[in-house]
């Protein structure tokens, strides 16, 4: 028999996903000899045997890889046979090439769950059960390549049984790096807030309304029984979290269905290996108290994603509040010492273990849009999976923005976006951010050729980028906020041509020194031209205004009408504000020109009755959206679009909306009419510009497009006009997606 041999190089998500045992079994099945090795590139395989078996091997590898693997490229080269007699798995090597994929954390697989629930299994009830198809990954990795010695599991020496599984190519735990069992792995410990062990039952404590700090995969959670209104209120009070919604963890899908509307696609997303928090429409029949998500018609729901979580539930405990354990605005807490000192006054008990969290990661938050996950926050379960770029670019580091911060590196044809770090004006978040930059930099071994940042002179991220560029002696490239959004949406959809883009959000520093926030662009990565915008209005200077929708509405209505009495009739609570408002309107020192979509939505929310101080970013707009969902389909207000070198959409329709309110129209109808006007006006602008610029493609980005009411109807309307709308697919539409756009623009400067 003539012996052939081949070398196969595979890149993609091929480490930490059971790729080597899979290949081992496949080679044995086909009677091939040779070896496989993890490299910093992915994996390299050598096979020897009959030519037709080698062909079959490659085909099967491509068509049915292991469930968690993702093959990005597979290259085969014919080589000389070396006379191997068997197939084996080689120990990993450290090569100089740095193209690597770190696997994201994976929710418990059905096989492990079965073992966890089986009284006859040696892992019965063991909260850290995992295998090659599930368990912690990114959160425990210290260095490349992904091997047990480079993870925080290195301190646990495997017992003989576990080591046997780990070494046995036929076993599901073959090279499962976090492999553990009750004999050798981490143990669950219940303690008091002072760290002393407590002999009690976790579920009994939850039933008694206690608040527990639970160390999970990428961070600690604060958990309490979601059906216990008193416990939920206590948690809000202790956490000083007024109205920002709490995430929920449901025991199973039935519990989710009881409280939320759930489509099949949503069910798939909820049970996917990433196990994100999914935003679902709350059922009117749900018995959960309004304090979980005050004033909103949605709930953020996830399923258990480690055996430890399954152990928190029983027949009585079916839904838990599971909110990130941090002080409002601070970074996630991951270290035990820190947890005790910072959460001691928030939690009654602690559920901890000795498996160190190396890389913090929040729960990801998504909704289902166009049958795909649409990201609000991208972290655990997705990070640090790379995003394919439209073409290969030089190594670049992009720092993102200051809010909802993430950073990104490019290498080759990919961008790696970091997990979410929160807002950088919080010093501790900034420290965590810098730690993340250091980790990714070392892990990816990339030497950026340039550093990209926002043009905002006051941004902490801009200052960091400037210092970093100096340190590396590479150019600093500044990218306007909304142009970065534009490029991000293009790259997210792998577009590489001139298109239109609509970017709507709260605040971004415009190129003319005013505030931008509702902009239409035409262009590509090389050149982006502003071709449309919301007509600017005067907005009180400073960041404080984002907290006061009532003031924003007063300013807008007063500048439209110059009629105090009428403004007061629309906004009964604004009387004490009016003297300030009158001074502000028309004063260039007290106000700044702005086309911020966020502020327009704030004003509309206030007209609809949401006049309280905003307690979390986007609250007013979210309340407004929730109101709109309760309305039947409605007619828009009349609006006007002014043509010119930059097309301007007038916001004067707020006047008609306010009049509508004075007629006694219900808030939900006002909200729906406002939304519909906004949607129709944007669509009309886009269609006019599409003709002018001869394109039928338009991308959307910016925080405003987290609004489900807007995106669903906007997408439908544009498709009906034969215009193809592109929304974000892999990175959030909010500022967490900025870094990707900065990369693409920097790559083309």
The token pair at 196 is 């002393």
Nearer residue to Zn ion within complex by CB, 133 or 306:
133
Nearer residue to Zn ion within complex by CB, 133 or 461:
133
Nearer residue to Zn ion within complex by CB, 183 or 587:
183
Nearer residue to Zn ion within complex by CB, 68 or 669:
68
DSSP per residue, 603-615? HHHHHTT--SPPS
* Contact call for residues 434 and 464 (beta carbons, < 8 A): yes
* Contact call for residues 89 and 20 (beta carbons, < 8 A): yes
The neighbouring-strand residues paired with 214 are: 221, 351
Min dist CB 42 to Zn ion, Å, is 22
DSSP per residue, 299-360? EEEE---SHHHHTT--SS--EEEEEE-SSTTSPPP-SHHHHHHHHTTT-SEEEE-S----S-
Q: Which of residues 623-642 bind Zn ion (CB under 5 A)?
A: none
The token pair at 579 is 């003297």
Core vs surface per residue 643-661: b (16+ CB within 10 A) or e: eeeebbbebbbbbbbbebb
Q: What is the 3-state secondary structure (H, E, C) of 477-527?
A: EEECHHHHHHHHHHHHCCCCCCEEEEEEEEEEECCCCCEEEEEEEEECCCC
Nearer residue to Zn ion within complex by CB, 133 or 144:
133
Query: Does position 153 bind Zn ion by CB under 5 A?
Result: no
Min dist CB 216 to Zn ion, Å, is 17
DSSP state, residue 105: P
Min dist CB 66 to Zn ion, Å, is 12
Min dist CB 127 to Zn ion, Å, is 13
What whole-number distance in Å separates Cα of residue 666 and Cα of residue 324? 36
Query: Does position 306 bind Zn ion by CB under 5 A?
Result: no
Min dist CB 68 to Zn ion, Å, is 10
Please list, in sequence order, all residues whose beta carbon lies within 8 angstroms of the beta carbon of residue 482, skipping any fewer than 6 positions away.
503, 505, 508, 510, 516, 517, 519, 521, 702
Query: Does position 308 bind Zn ion by CB under 5 A?
Result: no
Residue 93 gets the label, from left (phi > 0), alpha (psi -120 to 50) or beta, of: beta
Nearer residue to Zn ion within complex by CB, 133 or 324:
133
Query: Does position 134 bind Zn ion by CB under 5 A?
Result: yes
Nearer residue to Zn ion within complex by CB, 133 or 704:
133
Find the binder of Zn ion among 26, 36, 68, 181 (CB under 5 A).
Answer: 181
Piece of the chain touching Zn ion by CB under 5 A; list 151-159, 188-196, 354-362, 386-394: 151-159
The token pair at 404 is 């909802």
Query: Does position 131 bind Zn ion by CB under 5 A?
Result: yes
Nearest to 68 by CA among 111, 31, 7: 111
What whole-number distance in Å separates Cα of residue 28 and Cα of residue 645? 68
Find the binder of Zn ion among 90, 183, 587, 748 (CB under 5 A).
Answer: 183
Nearest to 519 by CA among 640, 322, 689: 689
Piece of the chain touching Zn ion by CB under 5 A; list 130-138, 444-452, 554-562, 586-594: 130-138
Nearer residue to Zn ion within complex by CB, 109 or 319:
109
Nearer residue to Zn ion within complex by CB, 181 or 620:
181
| Total residues in contact with Zn ion, by rule CB under 5 A | 10
Nearer residue to Zn ion within complex by CB, 131 or 403:
131
Find the binder of Zn ion among 36, 43, 162, 465 (CB under 5 A).
Answer: 162
What whole-number distance in Å separates Cα of residue 153 and Cα of residue 93? 20
Q: Which of residues 679-708 bind Zn ion (CB under 5 A)?
A: none
Query: Does position 184 bind Zn ion by CB under 5 A?
Result: yes
Min dist CB 64 to Zn ion, Å, is 19
Query: Does position 159 bind Zn ion by CB under 5 A?
Result: yes
Query: Does position 163 bind Zn ion by CB under 5 A?
Result: no
Q: Mask of contacts with Zn ion, 98-127, x by CB under 5 A?
A: -----------x--x---------------
Nearer residue to Zn ion within complex by CB, 159 or 724:
159
Min dist CB 198 to Zn ion, Å, is 26
Query: Does position 189 bind Zn ion by CB under 5 A?
Result: no
Query: Does position 17 bind Zn ion by CB under 5 A?
Result: no
Alpha helix locations (H) across 362-426?
none
What whole-number distance in Å separates Cα of residue 683 and Cα of residue 532? 12
The neighbouring-strand residues paired with 380 are: 363
Min dist CB 123 to Zn ion, Å, is 9
Min dist CB 17 to Zn ion, Å, is 11
User: What residues make contact with Zn ion under the rule CB under 5 A?
Assistant: 109, 112, 131, 133-134, 159, 162, 181, 183-184
């Amino acid at each position: 028999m003539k012996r052939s041999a081949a070398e196969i190089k595979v890149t993609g998500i091929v480490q930490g996903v059971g790729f080597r045992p899979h290949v081992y079994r496949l080679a044995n099945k086909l009677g091939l000899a040779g070896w496989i090795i993890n490299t910093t590139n992915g994996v390299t395989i050598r096979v020897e045997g009959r030519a037709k078996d080698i062909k079959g091997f490659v085909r099967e590898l491509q068509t049915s890889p292991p469930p968690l693997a993702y093959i990005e490229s597979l290259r085969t080269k014919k080589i000389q046979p070396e006379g191997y007699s068997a197939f084996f798995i080689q120990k990993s090597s450290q090569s100089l090439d740095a193209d690597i994929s770190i696997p994201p954390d994976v929710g418990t697989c059905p096989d492990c769950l079965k073992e966890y629930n089986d009284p006859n299994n040696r892992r019965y009830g063991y909260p850290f059960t995992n295998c090659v198809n599930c368990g912690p990954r990114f959160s425990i990795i210290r260095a490349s390549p992904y091997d047990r010695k480079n993870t925080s599991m290195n301190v646990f020496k495997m017992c003989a049984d576990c080591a046997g599984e780990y070494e046995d190519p036929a076993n599901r735990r073959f090279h499962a790096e976090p492999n553990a069992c009750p004999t050798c792995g981490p143990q669950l410990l219940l303690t008091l807030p002072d760290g002393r062990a407590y002999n009690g039952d976790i579920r009994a404590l939850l039933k008694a309304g206690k608040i527990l700090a639970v160390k999970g995969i990428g961070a600690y959670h604060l958990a309490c029984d979601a059906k216990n209104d008193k416990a939920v209120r206590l948690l809000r009070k202790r956490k000083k979290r007024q109205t920002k919604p709490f995430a929920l963890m449901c025991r199973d899908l039935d519990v989710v269905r009881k409280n939320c509307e759930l489509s099949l696609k949503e069910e798939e997303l909820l049970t996917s290996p990433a196990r994100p928090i999914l935003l679902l429409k709350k059922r009117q029949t749900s018995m959960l108290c309004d304090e979980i998500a005050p004033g909103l018609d949605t709930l953020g729901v996830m399923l258990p994603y480690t055996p430890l979580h399954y152990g928190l539930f029983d027949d009585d405990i079916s839904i838990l509040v599971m909110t990130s354990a941090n002080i409002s605005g601070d970074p996630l807490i991951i270290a035990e010492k820190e947890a005790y000192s910072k959460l001691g006054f928030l939690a009654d008990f602690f559920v901890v273990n000795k498996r160190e969290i190396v890389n913090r990661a929040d729960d990801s938050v998504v909704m289902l849009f166009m049958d795909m996950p649409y990201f609000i926050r991208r972290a655990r379960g997705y990070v640090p999976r790379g995003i394919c770029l439209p073409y290969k670019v030089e190594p670049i580091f992009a720092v993102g923005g200051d809010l909802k911060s993430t950073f990104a590196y490019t290498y080759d044809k990919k961008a790696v976006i970091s997990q979410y770090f929160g807002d950088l004006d919080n010093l501790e978040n900034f420290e965590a951010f810098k730690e993340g930059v250091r980790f990714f930099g070392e892990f990816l071994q990339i030497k950026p050729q340039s550093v990209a940042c926002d043009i905002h002179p006051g941004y902490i991220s801009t200052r960091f980028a400037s210092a970093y560029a100096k340190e590396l002696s590479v150019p600093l490239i500044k990218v306007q906020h909304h142009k970065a959004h534009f490029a991000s949406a293009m790259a997210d959809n792998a577009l590489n041509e001139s298109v239109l883009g609509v970017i709507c959000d709260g605040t971004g520093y415009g190129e003319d020194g005013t505030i931008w926030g509702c902009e239409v662009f035409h262009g590509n990565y090389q050149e982006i031209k502003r071709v449309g915008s919301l007509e600017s209005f005067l907005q009180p200077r400073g960041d404080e205004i984002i907290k006061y929708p009532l003031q924003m509405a007063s300013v807008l209505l007063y500048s439209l009408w110059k009629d105090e009495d009428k403004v007061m009739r629309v906004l009964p609570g604004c009387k004490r504000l009016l003297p300030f408002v009158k001074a502000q309107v028309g004063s260039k020192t007290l106000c700044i020109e702005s086309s911020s979509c966020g502020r327009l939505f704030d004003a509309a929310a206030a007209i609809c009755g949401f006049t309280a101080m905003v307690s979390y970013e986007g609250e007013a707009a979210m309340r407004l959206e929730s109101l709109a969902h309760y309305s039947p389909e409605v007619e828009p207000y009349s609006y006007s679009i002014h043509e010119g070198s930059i097309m301007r959409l007038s916001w004067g329709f707020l006047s008609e909306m306010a009049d509508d309110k004075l007629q006694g129209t219900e808030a939900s109808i006002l909200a729906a009419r406002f939304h519909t006007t906004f949607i129709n006006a944007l669509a009309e602008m886009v269609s006019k510009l599409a003709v002018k610029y001869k394109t039928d493609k338009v991308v959307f980005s910016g925080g405003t497009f987290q609004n489900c009411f807007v995106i669903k109807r906007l997408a439908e309307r544009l498709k009906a006009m034969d215009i193809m709308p592109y929304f974000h697919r892999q990175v959030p539409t909010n500022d967490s997606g900025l870094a990707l756009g900065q990369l693409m623009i920097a790559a083309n400067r």
